[in-house]
Amino acid sequence: MAQSVLIRKRGTIKAKLAHFEKFLNSVQPQDLDRQTIIHMQERCTKFETLFDSFDEIQSEIECESDKPEACYAEREDFETKFYLQLSRAKCLLESRSNLSNNIPHNNDDHNDDTKSQQSESDTQSISEQSVYTQGQATHVIQSQNDGFKLPDVDLPKFMANMSLGWSFGKPSSP
């Protein structure tokens, strides 16, 4: 394919990136309702496929280019912007999913069945905590599914008394 055509296709993809950024800038975290969250999730799914298209086109441009260093800079710039916008979108969605019980529903026709289904899904939800150990932050996800338990596994006993010997065999010497 001619390089000018590839550059135009790359420009179209970069315009989609700018359009997604403009959309994210218009979204205010406190204004996220259920419909906006679903809309945003769908846009994120579509947006994630954009990178594969860019990568394919950019690789062709780099192969045909006499100066690939300039092309590499173009790739780096796009990747930086792409991952920044994707992480912004996911952070917005995650911040609202933690507060999912406070999301107003646009449908006022909720009945008791819907409320009981919602409470069942709340008991099976995933809670997230941050655990700080030895100066490092670790993200822990705990499942609250009480209806499922793994079977007990009996582990072999180890005797640590040196006068009795090693119960699992002698240690190998170096």
Q: Which residues of the chain have pLDDT under 70?
A: 97-148, 156-174
Give me the pLDDT at residue 46, please: 92
Q: Flag whether the pTM goes above 0.85.
A: no
Task: Please write the tens of the pLDDT for every residue from 125-171.
Answer: 444 444 444 444 444 444 455 566 778 777 766 555 656 555 555 55
- If one counts every other C-beta atom within 10 angstroms of the C-beta of residue 143, the result is 10
**What are the sequence ranges of the domains in the chain?**
3-100
**71 contacts 65 by C-beta, under 8 angstroms:** yes
pLDDT of residue 95: 79
Residue 139's pLDDT is: 45
CA-to-CA distance for 95 and 89, rounded, in angstroms? 10
